[in-house]
Amino acid sequence: MNRQVLLRNAVTAVPVEADFEVVDAPMPQAGAGQVLIRTLLLSLDPYMGSAIKSRHMSAGVKPGDLMPGEALGVVTESRHPDFAEGDIVTSRAGWQAYSVADAPTPLLTGMAAALSPAATKLAPDGRVPLSAYLGVLGMPGLTAYGGTVDLLSPRPGETLVVSAATGPVGSTVGQIARNMGARVVGIAGSDEKCAYAVDRLGFAACVNYKNAAWPDALADACPDGVDCYFDNVGGGILQGVMGRLAMHARIVLCGAMEQYNSPTVLPGPNLGPIVGKRATIKGLVVYDFWDRMPHWRRIATDWIASGRLTFKEDRVEGLDAAPALFARLMSGRNFGKALVAVAPDQA
């Protein structure tokens, strides 16, 4: 039998474990040109919180639907000449133990390739664990790479601020910017996360926004203002950072954690400082960078191996534990890339 996690009911607030249902289902069958995949690792990502409210570009999830998501797995049966039993692949398998996928269509690029129902064969580099291909070497890492290198382009000596600073996106943003010579200041939701950002990620400072005086702490940490802001949260944190912009600041809007759990879209910040500081705001969609994944993986793998890039995982074992970890992720209580080891004996 297959095992799946379905959305049980409509969700209007922070998702809780009871919003999901774990069921047995018939084993999927690989058709001609397809492969059967056993999931080893499942990635849990904040966009799924928007998807279950039908507010995300990748998917809308209705009660009774299989939860969507990226997974890393092993091919257990191949009916396509390019794949063999034992190949390690990534695919949009969803929250289930077994899935079928097509072979990639070469003409698809960018968002169409990212969201296609195809399996991508990996050539794992032995210097990094397999799980990295769902985090720092996967969609979150590519988001950080595209947003930092292409959209913000921090120059040596500039101050770059990043929120959700210890997550897979934020921690990678900060380390790329640090490796480019910028001075990096994180914003995170606990003293423990801030200590990690400074001690392990090499950030110059990190501000805990759960302290009421955090805007003053940000001002102290950024005496010359904020040249680049990578925004993963929106709302009050975006507003606070805008109060510290330097002249000609650049802002990338990547995520809006503060509003994902809200039943309605929250009122936005005052954009006045964008005008006063001649700042630039850019929107980021990771799928625009999809074709550069191999390039990013080469750079990041070398950095991981030489100690210039590190990452942290928040991991649970077994598909049945996925709903509880997702509830933790969406309420900000995760610390590191949220991952489910669906087959813990193998990955």
Between CA 149 and CA 230 the distance in angstroms is 11
Residue 236 Cβ vs ligand NAP, minimum distance, rounded to whole Å = 9
- Please give the C-alpha separations between residue 145 and each of 40, 43, 115, 128, 303, in angstroms, as whole numbers: 26, 19, 19, 18, 13
Cβ-based nearer residue to ligand NAP, 163 or 301: 163
Between CA 119 and CA 74 the distance in angstroms is 10
Number of residues engaging ligand NAP in binding (CB under 6 A): 28
Per-residue x/- marks for ligand NAP, 318-337, CB under 6 A? -----------x-xx-x---
DSSP state of 291: G
Residue 138 contacts ligand NAP per CB under 6 A: no
Residue 326 Cβ vs ligand NAP, minimum distance, rounded to whole Å = 11
CB 16 within 8 A of CB 331: no
Between CA 48 and CA 58 the distance in angstroms is 9
The interface region with ligand NAP, picked from 162-170, 262-270, 291-299, 303-311 by CB under 6 A, is 162-170
Cβ-based nearer residue to ligand NAP, 39 or 334: 334
Angle subtended at Cα 128 by Cα 144 and Cα 336, rounded to the nearest 5 degrees: 50
Binding residue for ligand NAP (CB under 6 A) from 5, 20, 42, 45?
45
The interface region with ligand NAP, picked from 28-36, 45-53, 221-229, 290-298 by CB under 6 A, is 45-53
Binding residue for ligand NAP (CB under 6 A) from 34, 91, 96, 143?
143
Residue 188 contacts ligand NAP per CB under 6 A: yes
- Say whether 253 sits in a helix, a strand or coil: strand
Per-residue x/- marks for ligand NAP, 205-244, CB under 6 A? ---------------------------xx-----------
Residue 252 contacts ligand NAP per CB under 6 A: no
| Terminal Cα-to-Cα distance of the chain (whole angstroms) | 21
Residue 174 contacts ligand NAP per CB under 6 A: no
The interface region with ligand NAP, picked from 84-92, 148-156, 222-230, 279-287 by CB under 6 A, is 279-287
Binding residue for ligand NAP (CB under 6 A) from 183, 193, 244, 312?
193
CB 166 within 8 A of CB 140: no
Helix count and strand count (H, E) for the chain: 11, 15
The β-bridge relationship of strands 313-317 and 337-341 is parallel
Per-residue x/- marks for ligand NAP, 283-312, CB under 6 A? -xxx--------------------------
Burial class (CB in 10 A: 0-12, 13-18, 19+), 64: exposed
Between CA 246 and CA 228 the distance in angstroms is 9
Residue 14 Cβ vs ligand NAP, minimum distance, rounded to whole Å = 8
CB 249 within 8 A of CB 229: yes
Interface residues toward ligand NAP, by CB under 6 A: 45-47, 139-140, 143, 164, 166-170, 188-189, 193, 232-233, 254-255, 257-258, 284-286, 329, 331-332, 334
